[in-house]
Amino acid sequence: MGLFSGMNKFGLNEIKEDEIFADPAEKKKEEKAEEKKREATELDFLIDRTYICPVCEEEFKSKTVKSRSVRLIGSDDDLRPRYQQLDCLKYDVIVCPHCGYASLGRTYKTIYDSQKKLVSETISRGFRYIEPEGIYTYDDAIERYQIAFANAMAIKQIDSEKAYLCLRMGWTIRGKSETLKAGTPGYEEELKKCREDENEALKLAMDGFLAARNKEQPPYAGMDQSTLDYLIAVLSARFGKLDVASKLIASLISNRSANPRIRERARDLKDKIVSGLKN
Ligand SMILES: [Zn+2]
């Protein structure tokens, strides 16, 4: 029981006794030191990898996660992976600083000659970009997804790949929102913006995956049919399209050849939707 406890009944924040005479400059210094330490730790898990751009053939370096050094600790309902040491999603996009060609690492080398021409004509002219020094901030990472998306549009990428980019961009924005600190200046506005942007990205992903399901054959951006169906179901449930979600969940649960991990997730999603409807 502290001297100033119970102040929240007046709608006021609790005063912590060790904060009363604390020097604000000292606190700032501590926060800065902590930030520096975090950056140093994140840098430990990154390497500068050299790439030869398939479009302009120039050499450049880009930061990559040393994949064997990070540990997956779980995933969100929509399969967004969570790692113990850092958010690997920030380092997914490779950007050539010379010509502006950018994509996810998985598709970086798979570009046709006709598409290279489209990059040169629509992206390279006037492209200016400086590779960030040190770790990528969330804003750096989100910019890199924007550049990758501009490239996907320029080269007329298929719907599943464009949707997958939107999905990963939405996940990255969620990562940013989780790092915002309550009580800091501008927190409410920034959180609101993040939530709006995440919803926009995930809604685009849902629409794109639905279009891909009608037009393309698996794999869809490296995913099998059951993973795609689960993702459409989880995103549809998020945006209130319960009819679409329920249909896909029912077919996933009854499909014995579907990926077992995904069937398990589909059952969990069904339970969540049912209990959400009850409440
Ligand atoms: Zn290039």
How buried is residue 125: exposed, middle or buried, by Cβ count under 10 Å (0-12/13-18/19+)? exposed
- Note whether residue 136 is domain-resident: yes
Give dist(CA 58, CA 100) in Å, integer.
11
- pTM, 2 dp: 0.86
Print burial letters for 51-77: b (CB count within 10 Å at least 16), e (below 16).
bebbbbeeebebbbbeeeebeeeeeee
Q: How far is residue 68's CA from residue 76's CA, in Å, rounded to a whole number?
A: 21
Do the domain assignments include residue 11? no
Written as six digits, the tokens of 53 are 């751009």
Phi, psi of 67 (to 5 degrees): -60, -30
User: Do residue 212 and residue 267 come from a single domain?
Assistant: no
**Sheet strands (E) in the chain:** 46-52, 59-65, 72-75, 81-83, 93-95, 102-104
What angle is formed at CA 271 by the lines to CA 267 and CA 274, rounded to 5 degrees? 135
Are residues 39 and 167 both part of a single domain?
A: yes
In a domain, 39, yes or no: yes
CA of 164 to the centre of ligand 1 (A): 23
Is 166 inside a domain boundary?
Answer: yes
Residue 201 sits in the same domain as residue 255: no
Q: How many angstroms is it from 149 CA to the middle of ligand 1?
A: 16
Q: Please check whether residues 143 and 61 belong to one and the same domain.
A: yes
Q: Which chain residues have CB less than 5 Å from ligand 1, an ion?
A: 53, 55-56, 96, 98-99, 101
> How many angstroms does the Cα of residue 162 sit away from the middle of ligand 1?
20
CB-based contacts of 171, cutoff 8 Å, min separation 6: 76, 78, 80, 89
Q: Are residues 252 and 212 in the same domain?
A: no
Centre of ligand 1 to C-alpha 144, Å, is 14
Which structural domain range is residue 129 located in? 28-178+189-218
144 and 166 belong to one structural domain: yes
Q: Which residues of 152-178 are buried (b: 16+ CB within 10 A; e: fewer)?
A: bebbebbbbbbbbbbbbbbbbbbbbbe
Q: How far apart are CA 226 and CA 261, in angstroms?
A: 10
Q: Do the domain assignments include residue 9?
A: no
> Could you count the other beta carbons within 10 Å of the beta carbon of residue 260?
10
The confidence score (pLDDT) of residue 1 equals 53
State in Å: Cα 65 to ligand 1 middle.
Answer: 21
Q: What is the pLDDT along the chain (279 residues), one digit of tens a residue?
A: 577 777 777 777 777 777 777 777 877 788 788 777 777 789 999 999 999 999 999 999 999 999 888 999 999 999 999 999 999 999 999 999 999 999 999 999 999 999 999 999 999 998 999 999 899 999 999 999 999 999 999 999 999 999 999 999 999 999 999 999 999 999 999 999 999 999 999 999 999 999 999 999 999 999 999 999 999 999 999 999 999 999 999 999 999 999 999 999 999 999 999 998 887
Spatial separation of the C-alpha atoms in residues 103 and 2, rounded to whole Å? 55
Going from the Cα of 87 to the center of ligand 1, the distance in angstroms, rounded, reads: 26
Number of compact structural domains in the chain: 2
Convert 124-176 into a string of H (helix), E (strand) and C (coil): HCCCCCCCCCCCCCHHHHHHHHHHHHHHHHHCCCCHHHHHHHHHHHHHHHHHH
Q: 10 Å Cβ neighbour count for 258?
A: 19
Residues 231, 95, single domain; the answer is no
Q: From ligand 1's centre to the CA of 117, what distance in Å?
A: 12
Q: Are residues 228 and 214 part of one domain?
A: no
At which residue do the structure tokens 């679409």 appear? 244
Distance 50 CA to ligand 1 centre (A): 12
Same domain, 252 and 137: no
Q: Say whether both 135 and 235 belong to one domain.
A: no
Q: In terms of domains, do 207 and 116 share one?
A: yes
In this prediction, residue 263 carries a pLDDT of 96
Distance 138 CA to ligand 1 centre (A): 23
In terms of domains, do 210 and 260 share one?
no
CA 116 to ligand 1 center in whole angstroms: 10
250 within some domain: yes
Give the Cα separation of 75 and 80 in Å (integer).
5
How many angstroms separate the alpha carbon of residue 188 from the centre of ligand 1? 39
Rounded to 5 degrees, what are φ and ψ at 252?
-65, -45
Within a domain: 10: no
